[in-house]
Amino acid sequence: MKPETYTFFQNVHDVARLIPKGRVTNYGAIAKYLGAPRSSRMVGYAMNAAAGDDTIPAHRVVNRNGLLTGRMHFNTPHHMQELLEKEGIEIKGHQVIQLEKYFWDPMQELLR
């Protein structure tokens, strides 16, 4: 599929797939990387569309505060937390602890 046929959603899904295990990122960072810093909402919507897709680690995308805002879209509300903890990320109260420590910024990791 040609890049030009890629929708915003497609790009979001691609970036999400590149998130390393044990790392997390947020909606704004992905939106910014795609050149649409004001479209972080749409990134969230794109992840919603990605729900149920095993090839997309949607659980590694949290909001700016490290809050697992998308947890309710998984099969079970705590599934997202379990996946993250399994990757070595500590979570307390539906929120990622030491977010900056695990944060993965596509702008820096991909563009270098």
Partner DNA sequence: CGCGTGACCAGTT
Partner DNA sequence: TAACTGGCCACGC
Q: Which residues bind DNA (CB under 7 A)?
A: 7-9, 26-28, 36, 38-51, 58-59, 61, 63-65, 69-71, 73-74, 80
Query: For residues 53 and 16, what is the distance between their CA atoms, to the nearest angstrom?
Result: 11
**Which H helix or E strand runs over 75?**
none
Give the nearest distance from C-beta 5 to DNA in angstroms: 10
Closest approach of DNA to the CB of residue 85, in Å:
16
Beta carbons within 8 Å of 52's beta carbon, 6+ residues apart = none
What gap in Å lies between CA 15 and CA 80, rounded to an integer?
18
The residue among 28 and 106 lying less far from DNA, judged by its C-beta, is 28
Q: Which contiguous run of DSSP H or E holds residue 99?
A: helix 99-102
Nearer to DNA, 5 or 92 (CB): 5
The least distance separating DNA from the CB of residue 2, rounded to whole angstroms, comes to 14
Shortest separation between residue 90's beta carbon and DNA, angstroms: 18
Q: Is 70 helix (H, G, I), strand (E, B) or coil?
A: coil
What single-letter DSSP state applies at residue 15? Answer: H
Nearer to DNA among residue 15 and residue 69 (C-beta): 69
CB of 65 or CB of 76, closer to DNA:
65
